[in-house]
Structure 1
Amino acid sequence: MEGRLQEVFTVNAFTASPFAGNPASVCLLELELSEEQLQGVAAQMNHSETAFVTRLDTGAAFQTADTFQLRWFTPTTEVQLCGHATLAAAAVLFKAVENQQPKLTFITRWGLHLTARRDGDRIELELPLNDRQLSAATGKLLLRLADSCTVQQLEALKPDVGQLTRLHDGGEVRGVIVTVRGGGQFHCQSRYFAPWVGIPEDPVTGSAHTVLGPYWARQLGVERLSARQCSPRGGQLAVAVDWAAGRTRVAGEAVIVLRGQLRVA
């Protein structure tokens, strides 16, 4: 018995390389799945996030629609914002599905309206602006290392993520951003740890840059930044802060590395 099959993609976000950046799974939902099934798919794919994309206008095809509902699940829970899986979803629609719309809008169950546009080889996302070192909207805590610390020291950092969950229950902080002044071609570099949502370390985190972007923009007196997340896989992001609109624009490349079908029932 074949069962019900759901098409699924794996996309490496914020990189042009098949073996770098942050992998996310993307499901373009043709089937109605329960909450339990959505979480089961995310656990099966076992990436930091899986994005589920649904057409709001069921009369439109994925190739022609311009507005979608978007949800993100880690292997253990649903999250309110995920930048790299949003980039992955847009890459699937633009590249695999060949949607020709100039702009895609993603509406979330948390009231966010996110957009994605083509920007040459990159895709530019418009995300919220979180101008606090502890963002209540995302649960992300930003820790800046002293300027005497090097990028190599940040790369060598090995936090005890198990100890983090023992020290804090995740009620206020659900992820920790550790950052240094970038030097060279980058304005800033960072790493991101979120064991409270089942992610010991996230390779490249778009949503973290909604906090990093405003912080470093103020510190450096600029509105456009080149950023690198220096995890073992690594990735690069272009970040622009729009203070007037209260938005952060995050751009990067993405490569689709897998396309297949998953049995969901």
Structure 2
Amino acid sequence: MHTYIVDSFTDKPFQGNPAGVCLIENDLNDNQMLLIAKELGLSETAFVKKIEGEDLFSIRFFSPKMEMTLCGHATLASSKVLFERDKNLNKIHFKNIQNLDLIIRKEGEEIIMEFPIYDTVSSSVPSELLWALGLTSYINCECNQEYNILILEIEDPKTLSELRPDFEALYKSHDSINGVLVTSSSNKANFDFESRYFWPWSGTNEDPVTGGSHTFLAKYWSKRLGKTKMSSFQCSERSGFMEVELLNNSKMTIRSMAQIVFIGQLKI
């Protein structure tokens, strides 16, 4: 099976968020895909299969722990692979396990992904979780129900970049979320907001750059900043960037780049 590792949300190799991409010709069962995701050891691996239609593909996402319904960086990685394999391909329709139609286009080296927009609702945060993150205060706490992710807005991007969570304590501090996303406005000239995403409950300790979280982060920051087009920076150790734009009440685009760093064959 043709297998790739692609660094997403970056214009440089070995930055951004690495994802596995497996091109399926013969069907795999769920356990096989989970085992492959564990073997690759990346935060997400996408399994892509050509289905009927000129530009139509199925896509499924697995972390080393579980299947995920939607993943931005693995979608971007898969798009990069398909566009590189077929230079005449300019548009892709991905169908995920929820039967969402994810429309992907390329413009030069940039890839533009159409994603749904999700809401957030007011929530509360356990003091144990704050302590595990190394935070003593926050501005706002909300939750996204589609991903089951807790959002904490803090005031200082410097504090955000310097967070060094106690991941064992973080895992024990909550028993009903998939992850916690910490975000702040940005003091960088080219960016509007920043974030970091920790998910020891369902993936790795920290996801370097998280496209899926922007399906609700974009609307969250749009309300605060009064903008529909914004630039986002994920200030993890590897770091990454993207431009988000709200098109209407239900649809948005995520624009960024990706770099293929490994091409091989997986024997199963």
Q: How far has the Cα of 1:99 moved from its partner?
A: 5.0
Work out whether 1:34 is the aligned partner of 2:39: no
Aligned length: 246
Equivalent in the alignment of 2:230: 225
1:144-163 mapped onto 2 (5 Å cutoff)? 144-146=153-155, 149=156, 151-163=157-169
Please point out which of 76, 81, 85 is paired with 1:87: 76
Does 1:193 find its partner at 2:198? yes
**1:142 correspondence with 2:151:** yes
| In 2, Cα distance between equivalents of 1:221 and 1:120 | 29
In structure 1, what is the Cα distance between the partners aligned to 2:245 and 2:252?
A: 6
**Post-superposition shift, 1:164?**
2.3
Identity across aligned pairs (percent)?
Answer: 39
TM-score with structure 1 setting the length:
0.89
How large is the RMSD of aligned CA atoms in angstroms? Answer: 1.3
Deviations 1:175-203 (A, max 9, x none): 11101111221100110011111221000
Could you list the structure 1 runs, at least 4 aligned residues long, displaced by more than 4 angstroms after superposition. Answer: none
Shift of 1:161: 2.1
Could you tell me whether the CA contact under 8 Å between 1:46 and 1:75 is conserved in 2?
yes
Whether 1:107 aligns to 2:85 is no
What code does the residue aligned with 2:116 have?
Answer: P
Q: Distance in 2 between matches of 1:56 and 1:77?
A: 24
SS of residue matched to 2:266: strand
Per the alignment, residue 137 of structure 2 pairs with none
Cα separation, 1, equivalents of 2:27 and 2:42: 22
* 1:23 corresponds to which of 4, 18, 22: 18
Post-superposition CA distance 1:120-161 (Å, at most 9, x none): 321011111012131111112211002xx2x22211101222
- Structure 1 CA distance, aligned partners of 2:247 and 2:178? 25
Q: Residue 182 of structure 1: which of 172, 182, 186 is its match?
A: 186
Structure 1 CA distance, aligned partners of 2:119 and 2:104? 22
Q: CA deviation at 1:237?
A: 0.4
SS of structure 1 residue aligned to 2:192: strand
Q: Which of the residues 242, 249, 255 maps onto 1:251?
A: 255
Q: Match of 2:241?
A: 236
What residue ranges of structure 1 are gaps of 5+ in the alignment?
A: 1-5
CA contact (8 A) 2:11 2:257 kept: yes
- Given that residues 10 and 256 in structure 1 are in contact (C-alpha distance below 8 angstroms), is that contact kept between their aligned partners in structure 2? yes
